[in-house]
Structure 1
Amino acid sequence: MNDRPAIERTRAWLLGLVHENRLSPTQRRTIHYMLDSLADVAFASTVDVAAAAGVSQPTVTRLATALGFSGYPEFRSALRDELFDPTDSDQDAPVLSSSSAALASEQDNIASLEHTLSSERMTRAVDVLAGTQPLGIVGLRASSALAEYFGYFARRVLPDVHVLNEAATLDDGILQLHRNGASAVLAFVMPRYPSATVRALADAKRLGMATVAIVDTPLVSFADDVDSLLVAPVGTDLVFDSHAASIVLAISLLDAIAGRDARRTQERLEEHEELVERWAHPER
């Protein structure tokens, strides 16, 4: 099947189901296979899918149930409907330039945040991050800039913020946060996932800290080490990944955290405004 719009639409549909439900590692492994073989899965039996994905037949059956269907046949039927929907043809759609396609993709990525922002995972993330002091923010490599961005504004409204963006000292940083009373940590984990960040999440959870991670897909292999997994899809249409959705999700998360103590937030913002004249270039 070479109908790319239909495949991308169906991938988004399936990822949406994954995002709404917590899956086991073997179930996520099965989803990875399905995402790469949608046309085959649409006509495959549980035995076929299990053999191709390298899992057991009961795993495939339980996966369909975990995604909200009464059984695998119902899941397969829904997948067929999505993949071969004749009412959503893009044959007459204009061909977009690479930059226009990237922009359209990012608009879709940002629009997909609506579900995340209204989810229980978001509420839990706000609860634990608003309740921790100090607040540690982890981000390495491509995620370093995202962590710095969040930390820059977080320092305006929160009293004790630490950005951990050096792999060599990350283990020490997590331990120090714990010793200083931190009850939660936030990590930005964009592709390719640094092993040091994944290890830091596991260490934080082992120390009894709640873990929140902003990731690009709900299928990350380290999902079991994250208490609140917040998904912000990454744009992949250009030479390098773009993180527009991550920025929107991050600043929305900070806004919700700041709103938990509105009085403190207002006081700190007013204090910051008094310093603006020292560094802001005057407007003409």
Structure 2
Amino acid sequence: MEGCRLTPAQRRIAHSMLRSPDDIPFLSSVAVAELAGVSQPSVTRFALAIGFDGYPALRRHLREIVTAGPELGPEPSPEQRPAAAPANVYQRLVQDEIDNLRDLSTALTDPGPVVRAARLLAASHPLPVLGLRAAAAQAVDFAHVARTAHADVRLLDEGGTALSNRIDDAVRAGASALLCFAVPRHPREVVGALVHARGAGLTVVTVTDSSFAPVAPHTDLLLPVGSANRFGTACAPVLLGRLLVRAARHGGTGAAEPSRRRRSPE
């Protein structure tokens, strides 16, 4: 795919293929579309865009790669052998979420992006937190925890014409940054809200499922928590949000002040 110019939908397909390389060669174009959260014709156009005659030709090519397999090496020890596959769909979903958390842990080997994000968010008074539809629960959890460390957290979990007004209100009150949670399937309204927020002068930090997500071009600091599931990951964004609060407490400007006030007698 190197050198190919892909649309946002095609980048989502590519990301899904990279996340599930062993499964994709045996899925229909409809199943791939479901996995990536795009339409079936988008899968066909993706195959054409990267040089194949259609999706069947791409799938045959991927099957040849998978069935060829790597060269056989020494027999692995019991500790090196992969764990048995989950017995049912529920166990597989749990295992997928465990894998998402492992990926997040690996990404945090470099904590720099989280520390930078925490400082931006801690310095914003007030702090608007955006999460619509499926992402609303993640935004609510962050706002609940963040209020123990930040004096003015403003939850934006409802769309409509009032959303832009509430962003403008936060800017007039002194906000300098906005935190957004965005998960599949991404509401178009979220992109519009981020465009409006940046136009109003806010620095946008976004927790989302992929570097190829529709919100990525409209974000100043992206914190991806990847997922092969078309509905995204449930636990990783919530945990990352709590890590942002923890980082703000330890290194964010002014983050500890509200906590001291909470301990004082009323």
**Shift in CA distance, 170/106, structure 1 to aligned 2, threshold 3 Å:** same
CA distance in 2: counterparts of 1:263 and 1:133, whole angstroms = 10
Check conservation: 2:248, 2:255, Cα contact below 8 A.
no
Offset, 1:105 = 1.4
Aligned to 1:112: 103
Q: How does 1:113-128 map to 2 (within 5 A)?
A: 113-117=104-108, 118-128=110-120
Among candidates 241, 250, 253, match of residue 250 of structure 1? 241
Check conservation: 2:149, 2:259, Cα contact below 8 A.
yes
- Structure 1 residue runs of 4 or more that deviate by more than 6 Å after TM superposition: 87-92
Offset, 1:129 = 1.3
Relative to its length, the structure with more helix (as a share) is 1
Aligned to 2:129: 137
Aligned to 1:166: 158
**Shift in CA distance, 263/27, structure 1 to aligned 2, threshold 3 Å:** closer
Among candidates 194, 203, 217, match of residue 187 of structure 2? 194
CA distance in 2: counterparts of 1:119 and 1:25, whole angstroms = 30
Among candidates 85, 88, 104, match of residue 97 of structure 1? 88
Offset, 1:222 = 2.8
Specify which structure has the bigger relative contact order, considering alpha-carbon pairs within 8 angstroms and separated by 6 or more residues: 2
Deviates more, 1:253-262 or 1:91-100: 91-100
Residue identity opposite 1:194 in structure 2: P
**Shift in CA distance, 109/91, structure 1 to aligned 2, threshold 3 Å:** closer
Check conservation: 1:125, 1:228, Cα contact below 8 A.
yes
- Percent identity among equivalent residues? 26
Among candidates 179, 190, 209, match of residue 216 of structure 1? 209
Aligned to 1:232: 225
CA distance in 1: counterparts of 2:83 and 2:207, whole angstroms = 36
Residue identity opposite 2:220 in structure 1: D
**Shift in CA distance, 181/24, structure 1 to aligned 2, threshold 3 Å:** farther
**Structure 1 residue matching 2:148: 3-state secondary structure:** helix
TM-score (norm 1): 0.64
Which consecutive unaligned segments of at least 5 residues does structure 2 have? 27-44, 52-64
Deviations 1:186-229 (A, max 9, x none): 01111111222111111111222111111111111231101111
Q: How does 1:1-284 map to 2 (within 5 A)?
A: 26=7, 29=10, 32-33=13-14, 35-36=16-17, 52-53=46-47, 55=49, 84-85=69-70, 93-117=84-108, 118-168=110-160, 169-234=162-227, 236=229, 243-261=234-252, 265=256, 268-269=258-259, 271-272=261-262
Aligned to 2:55: none
**Structure 2 residue matching 1:142: 3-state secondary structure:** helix
Offset, 1:141 = 0.9
Which consecutive unaligned segments of at least 5 residues does structure 1 have? 1-13, 15-22, 41-50, 58-79, 276-284
**Structure 2 residue matching 1:252: 3-state secondary structure:** helix
Check conservation: 1:134, 1:177, Cα contact below 8 A.
yes
